[in-house]
Structure 1
Amino acid sequence: MGELVTFEELARVSEQLKKEGKTLVQCHGVFDLLHPGHVKHLEAARRQGDVLVVTVTPDKYVNKGPGRPIFGERLRAETIAALGCVDYVAINKWPTAVESIKMLKPDVYAKGSDYSDRESDITGGITLEEEAVRSVGGRIHFTSEISFSSSELINRYLSPYPEEAREFLQGFRQRYSAEGVISKLKSLRKTRVLVIGENITDKYVYVTPLGKSPKENLIPMRYRYEESYEGGALVIAKQMREFCDVVDYQPPQPGVTKIRYIDPTFFTKIFEYQILPEKIRLELSGDAVKQFDLVVVCDFGHGLFDDELMEKVYKSNFLALNVQTNSANLGFNLITKYKRANFFCIDEPELRLAYHRKDIDIKVLSGWLGHDLGCDKGVVTLGHKGSVVYSDGQVFHIPVLSKEAKDRLGAGDAYFALASLCAFGDFPPEVIGFIGNAIAALKVGVIGNKIIDRVSLFKFITALLS
């Protein structure tokens, strides 16, 4: 039976063992669901030396999507320590094993055979780990034992997703593989993109309530701290840069600022105010859009898109359109003001408001909008119900892939960013919706309008389709 220690203790023990001439073997991983493949791998690793130490990925760095890990870091570490082939276990302190390798200086770093193909490693982590091992005088060893997938077992027996999502994923896996979907996303790298839209700054001011004011009917708040996030079209451009080499965005002036006051205890939004300029300007030459494969229009309804600018964007080779309804423009910024597009992405209230119809099926309204814009692809996002993808008169429903939402800010923008690229790449409608819902699921799991890096999305797709 192994001993569970802190990482600092493991570093001291490892140093002493190496002084004693012991051959130190290190394994590293999440080990979310311990299975026979893990046990065989650890036993094979132990045979490569005198002492086997295992570092476990901490919860905050388990990058496999909402609902993961299934088991907490302490329980995962204790389970590994219960194995007879393991000598020491510690919870790692970093996202990857690179730093722990440099500190522990193992003679052998053992990985499963599925990591031996560097090309199939979507994170590129195995290359960095191998470099770290060699830098401390060690070597990497790939075990060749029976292999299982924790994600596949979790999806089959412990899925954190609703029944509708489980049924969808079961069918989707039969038609598409994770490798195939990721390969499609990678194929978009050379797409030249121009993003046009308002530049928005989202500021979160965290406050906690004091007592009721004795003189006024209000609750004073105590200022704690604040955070600012890039938003609007700028964050859409930055999200797309994760997948494309050329994404051009020139921020219109002046920008928009939205300030939200939040109680951090349960992330309760208390009050919001907006700094809205009277007029926003963007200098764009008449034929500039023709230099790009894809033009992404993010119309937040703050006055940027006048008739002159709209006429310019109509010249785009491929025009992706997102026209938002919000508290500052309710009823006055409808997607039907545009004459054409190749792809649209709006939410259900925005679509219903555009046609002033509450009672018509969303699938019918999607067809109306596709006809009016002259495009054969579009998306209507449905919040907690997922999204609907319209394509050539057909409609596909993709259920939500998130378990819970910490903060919905920017989820629709992230969906639009990826869905636009996928539509330009002529991806199947199911795949467009799946990728859009996947990145939105990751987005609602973080506080603030932060970018989802491509590796995180690739790992989530792999976990979903295992």
Structure 2
Amino acid sequence: MSGAEDRYQRKIKTREELRELLGPRPRDLKVVMCHGTFDLVHPGHVRHLTYAKSRADVLVASLTSDAHIAKANYRPFVPQALRAMNLAALEDVDYVLVDERPTPLENIAFLEPDYFAKGYEYVDGGVHPRTTEEISVLETYGGEILFTPGDVVFSSSRFIEETPPAIGVEKLLALMQSEGLSFDSLRASLESCRGLRVHVLGDTIVDRYVYCTAIGSSTSKTPTLSVKLDEQVEFVGGAAIVARHLRAAHAEVSFSTVLGADEAGRFVRDRLEEAGVVVHAVTDRGRPTTIKSNFIAGNHRLLKVDQVDNLPISSRIVEELQETLAATEADVVVFSDFRHGIFGKESIPRLAESIPAGPLTVADSQVASRWGNILDFSEFDLITPNEKEARFSLGDQDSVVRPLALELYRRAQCQTLVLKLGNRGIITYRAATEDVRAFFTIDSFADTVVDSVGSGDALLAYTSLALRATGSTVTASILGSMAAGVAVEHDGNTPVTPEQVLEKLARVEKRALYT
């Protein structure tokens, strides 16, 4: 922590510390208290705080904790530790209090400020019902309500939704500081993932990229697009790329899947074995290996064609997979579900019961465009759905993200939930304690997005390894986010290496330290 940050940090107090510092009424010094979200401190906030301080000797700025902010989506944008620091940096603010309660009523009664300041919008056109409640508390001990000038009104929500400020590094630093982490400790944690034994079970996909040059319409009578084939490239995808990410991170990886008796199946086996993955593949002669072909012209994806059979695998194949699960020693077991036959209502319980005791259990169900539900994987240690999958599983299109994530966390009965939010990063939920907050957010660290498909697989791999190696949800979430940031900067399913993650960390550290 720098000297300036330490000076500001000393202004941030608990309510017990504040009551002792302020003393009981009547006081020699008048105390005014302001309360708000202060997600982005803007000129309207500064005017409000400056006027409040002019009416008293001591200004206490109280802010709503992250857990009680549910207005607008993706809020709070700035986490409470950083919001508190922003207020503490203002000269007029003497003390900052993070209010862990849904309203300021309890702390008004607890601290008994001489004045409680509100913006003029809370009285213009009539007193707001919540303000009436605050006035009632003030009257119990002789405090007064104070309305500040409101001729300059700004909307933090509008600023955030229209042009989100680029403060991802500052938010990351605040999170790391709160958990006692450093960039050196993150690098050491990445190194500690080496040699972990991981068993991945899931649907294999061959991702085919067909690069073309657009020629135009084939005839004047139909709107058929004509293209010239330039190049065709194939990558292993689905659960297979999860296995390759893990192997690239120097884990010892076993991979169980179902393949067709075809060239695509042989391609998958060859690529995985070349990478050092131990493949336990059941051959199903009645279904093809899934191939997803993307036709691309320039930077535009023209068409996607899937060769797939999504019917459930047979009971015999489920039994074979169960036997492999039970017999394979692992530190981490990952179920990677693309709902192409392996996982279903009948197979999931049987497969889950076959996991030996001891390993970290992880599930990722990328089923937003097909039938399936992340809640089918209940009581796993870690799940990593995206927002669309979370909304689908809960039948909820209306809730803002944080309450949505909390409900999914509760319903899934998991130990850790990492909810992927696309270019907005992630939100992680974990079991809260007296010293550990229930959730935190991490922004995306992708510098240039080339291909966003597959970033979740890289996140899944590195988050799983780091969580098992360190037991720290914050460390795991940061390293997973860095891996995802690397993955989107490359076209196609290319395994992310620790060296690339370290390079990404170094770039973030350089921005953080201004070196």
Q: TM-score, normalised by structure 2?
A: 0.55
Partner of 1:395: 439
> In the alignment, which of 251, 254, 275 is matched to residue 257 of structure 2?
251
String of CA shifts for 1:381-405, please: whole Å, max 9, x gaps: 0001110011114110101111331
How far off its partner does 1:172 sit? 4.9
How far off its partner does 1:248 sit? 0.3
Q: 1: distance between equivalents of 2:308 and 2:431?
A: 39
How far off its partner does 1:162 sit? 5.8
> In the alignment, which of 332, 340, 348 is matched to residue 302 of structure 1?
340
String of CA shifts for 1:304-335, please: whole Å, max 9, x gaps: 113235322244332101011243x1xx2111
Q: 2: distance between equivalents of 1:398 and 1:434?
A: 7
Q: Structure 1 residue 325 and structure 2 residue 357: aligned?
A: no
2:196–2:252: 8 Å Cα contact kept in structure 1?
A: yes
Q: Which moved more, 1:348-357 or 1:184-193?
A: 184-193
Tell me: CA distance 1:360–1:190, structure 2 relative to 1, closer, same or farther (3 Å).
same
Q: Structure 1 residue 191 and structure 2 residue 223: aligned?
A: no
Partner of 2:453: 409
Q: 2: distance between equivalents of 1:382 and 1:354?
A: 16
Partner of 1:167: 170
Between the two proteins, the alignment pairs up a number of residues equal to 301
Q: Structure 1 residue 341 and structure 2 residue 347: aligned?
A: no
How far off its partner does 1:442 sit? 0.9
How far off its partner does 1:207 sit? 1.2
Partner of 2:225: 219
Map 1:251-400 onto structure 2 (within 5 A).
251-254=257-260, 255-263=289-297, 265=298, 267-279=299-311, 280=313, 281=317, 283-286=320-323, 288=326, 291-306=329-344, 307-316=346-355, 317=358, 318-327=360-369, 329=370, 332-393=371-432, 394-400=438-444
Map 1:229-248 onto structure 2 (within 5 A).
229-248=235-254
How far off its partner does 1:361 sit? 3.2
Map 1:36-55 onto structure 2 (within 5 A).
none
1:229–1:449: 8 Å Cα contact kept in structure 2?
A: yes
SS for the counterpart of 1:465 is helix
SS for the counterpart of 2:349 is helix
Q: Structure 1 residue 465 and structure 2 residue 468: aligned?
A: no
Larger Rg belongs to: 2
Map 1:65-144 onto structure 2 (within 5 A).
none
SS for the counterpart of 2:222 is coil
How far off its partner does 1:413 sit? 0.8
> In the alignment, which of 163, 179, 186 is matched to residue 184 of structure 2?
179
The one-letter code sitting in structure 1 at the alignment partner of 2:169 is R
1:235–1:449: 8 Å Cα contact kept in structure 2?
A: yes
Q: 1: distance between equivalents of 2:399 and 2:353?
A: 29
Give the alignment's Cα RMSD to 1 decimal: 2.2
Partner of 1:90: none
SS for the counterpart of 1:211 is strand
Partner of 1:445: 489
The one-letter code sitting in structure 2 at the alignment partner of 1:285 is Q
Tell me: CA distance 1:225–1:337, structure 2 relative to 1, closer, same or farther (3 Å).
same
String of CA shifts for 1:369-388, please: whole Å, max 9, x gaps: 33333222110000011100
How far off its partner does 1:164 sit? 1.9
String of CA shifts for 1:113-140, please: whole Å, max 9, x gaps: xxxxxxxxxxxxxxxxxxxxxxxxxxxx
How far off its partner does 1:242 sit? 2.3
Tell me: CA distance 1:220–1:356, structure 2 relative to 1, closer, same or farther (3 Å).
same
2:322–2:350: 8 Å Cα contact kept in structure 1?
A: no
2:208–2:233: 8 Å Cα contact kept in structure 1?
A: yes
How far off its partner does 1:426 sit? 4.5
Q: 2: distance between equivalents of 1:284 and 1:209?
A: 45
1:195–1:237: 8 Å Cα contact kept in structure 2?
A: yes
SS for the counterpart of 2:257 is coil
The one-letter code sitting in structure 1 at the alignment partner of 2:304 is E
Instruction: Among all aligned residue pairs of Structure 1 and Structure 2, give the percentage whose two residues are the same amino acid.
Output: 23
Partner of 1:435: 479
Q: 2: distance between equivalents of 1:343 and 1:289?
A: 22
String of CA shifts for 1:187-230, please: whole Å, max 9, x gaps: 12232110000110000111122132223222211111111111
How far off its partner does 1:290 sit? 6.5
2:451–2:488: 8 Å Cα contact kept in structure 1?
A: yes
How far off its partner does 1:278 sit? 4.7
Q: 1: distance between equivalents of 2:430 and 2:166?
A: 25
2:379–2:415: 8 Å Cα contact kept in structure 1?
A: no
